């Protein structure tokens, strides 16, 4: 059966959830403008199939601004002063003049290393700790710069803090437990292209992947980078997760439970890769590992996500799925893709 042809305009239109469109009027206007511009559609079609994500084009434009493009840099600096429609139309015009600003970055991948996801991961790990999972090795698939390998070291709050490094998450149903997390003995990250916090261009690319309408995320990113220099070093494995997951798990000492984690990573696998990844991970689960992921279920059919007793409380939520030995994969609720909110509903022990 032939696959449906890629629809770049539709990809732009669906790239932001309704919740994010309401919060981000400038990016809302920009994805609409790019969906209507021939050059916007053409550039997205030129990206590798697994990276035909409008966020790659948005990041490449932001990267151009951060690198000092004489047109883009002032436009991004003026967010909040310009009307969203004017911002979007002027960027689309610049792209018509200089498509190479994006074309030169199409070899990259969207690697939004959103530490807010650690707040969701921490909530799940607290439940597991209450169920006597005391010691773990954490394996982060799609680790990027490794910011989500430290859920035990972040501080989490439900209100906006003055400290930019504190993760803020809104608990929609009041079921997030307090308490300690399991002890993390080993931290392993897997990525096709792990990013190095000591490389300025890697840091700039991650900045570009952040949404410029959320300056607090940029401040938090840099605050966390400073703290990471004092945190335990992680092991980094470079290559496809399907090929490296066995190596990562086998490298873990038997004194703790391997916990395999990913969020909005398997969505970029092909369906065949998703099926193979699931088969490999489930063999490790059967041997005692735990598998935690937050993905949109329609984006990961090859993972065979379990049915959920409830719908996402907000459109576009990521399903929280946990797999443990001796049990079928279970839905533990929903979360915002970047960890802005959580509705945790773990099944009874």
DSSP track, 100-132: HHHHTTTTS------TTHHHHHHHHHHHHHHTT
Q: Which is nearest to 300 in space by CA: 275, 283, 324?
A: 275
**Interatomic CA distance for residues 301 and 318, integer angstroms:** 13
The pLDDT score that the predictor gives to residue 177 is 75
**Interatomic CA distance for residues 305 and 298, integer angstroms:** 9
DSSP track, 146-213: SGGG-TTTS-EESS--SSTTSEE-EESSS-PPPSPPPEEEEEEEEESS---TT-HHHHHHHHHHS-TT
Beta bridge partners of 334: 319, 343
Q: Which residues of 311-336 are buried (b: 16+ CB within 10 A; e: fewer)?
A: ebebebbbbbbbbbeeeebbbbbbbb
The pLDDT score that the predictor gives to residue 315 is 86
Given a cut of 50, the residues of the chain with pLDDT beneath it are 1-2
Q: Which is nearest to 187 in space by CA: 237, 221, 123?
A: 237
For the entire predicted model, the pTM comes to 0.86
> How far is Cα of residue 194 from the mean position of the Cα atoms in its chain?
14
DSSP track, 246-262: HHHHHTS-TTSEEEEEE
**Interatomic CA distance for residues 27 and 11, integer angstroms:** 14
**Interatomic CA distance for residues 122 and 145, integer angstroms:** 18
**Interatomic CA distance for residues 9 and 304, integer angstroms:** 28
**Interatomic CA distance for residues 328 and 347, integer angstroms:** 12
Distances (CA, A) of 130 to 76, 125, 169, 341: 46, 9, 21, 22
The pLDDT score that the predictor gives to residue 3 is 57
No. of helices (H) and no. of strands (E), the chain: 13, 11
Domains of the chain in sequence order: 8-103 (no CATH), 117-195+230-344 (3.40.50)
**Interatomic CA distance for residues 266 and 69, integer angstroms:** 33
CA angle 21, 64, 196 (to 5 degrees): 95
Name the DSSP class of 347.
P
283-287 long-range contacts (CB < 8 A, ≥24 apart) are 284/245, 284/246, 284/249, 284/258, 284/260, 285/323, 285/324, 285/325, 286/325, 287/325
* Cβ burial, residue 202 (10 Å; 0-12/13-18/19+): middle
Residue 241 Rama label (left phi>0; alpha psi -120 to 50; beta):
alpha
Whether residue 206 contacts residue 191, with contact meaning beta carbons closer than 8 Å, is answered with: no
């Amino acid at each position: 059966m032939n696959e449906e042809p890629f629809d770049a305009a539709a990809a732009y239109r669906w790239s932001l959830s309704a919740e994010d469109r309401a919060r981000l009027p400038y990016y809302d206007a920009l994805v609409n403008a790019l969906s209507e511009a021939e050059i916007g559609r053409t550039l997205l079609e030129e990206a590798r199939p697994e990276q035909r994500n409008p966020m790659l084009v948005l990041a490449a434009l932001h990267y151009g601004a951060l690198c000092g493009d004489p047109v883009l840099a002032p436009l991004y600096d003026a967010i909040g002063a310009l009307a969203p429609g004017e911002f979007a139309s002027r960027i689309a015009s610049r792209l018509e003049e200089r498509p190479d600003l994006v074309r030169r970055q199409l070899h990259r991948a969207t690697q939004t290393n959103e530490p807010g996801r650690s707040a969701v991961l921490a909530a799940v790990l607290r439940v597991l700790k209450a169920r006597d999972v005391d010691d773990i090795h954490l394996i982060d698939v799609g680790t990027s710069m490794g910011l989500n390998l430290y859920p035990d070291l972040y501080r989490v709050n439900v209100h906006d803090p003055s400290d930019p490094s504190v993760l803020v998450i809104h608990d929609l149903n009041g079921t997030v437990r307090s308490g300690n997390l399991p002890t993390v003995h080993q931290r392993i990250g897997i990525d096709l292209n792990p990013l190095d916090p000591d490389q300025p261009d890697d840091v700039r690319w991650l900045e570009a992947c952040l949404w410029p309408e959320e300056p607090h995320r940029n401040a938090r990113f840099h605050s966390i980078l400073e703290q990471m220099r004092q945190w335990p070093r992680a092991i980094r494995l470079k290559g496809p997760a399907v090929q490296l997951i066995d190596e990562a798990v086998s490298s873990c000492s038997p004194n703790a439970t391997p916990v395999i984690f990913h969020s909005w990573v398997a969505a970029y696998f092909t369906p065949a890769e998703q099926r193979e990844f699931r088969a490999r991970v489930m063999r490790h689960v059967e041997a005692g590992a735990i598998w935690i992921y937050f993905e949109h279920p329609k984006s990961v059919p090859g993972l065979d996500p379990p049915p959920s007793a409830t719908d996402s409380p907000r459109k576009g939520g990521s399903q929280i799925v946990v797999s443990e030995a001796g049990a079928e994969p279970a839905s533990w609720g929903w979360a915002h893709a970047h960890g802005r909110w959580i509705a945790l509903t773990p099944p009874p022990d």
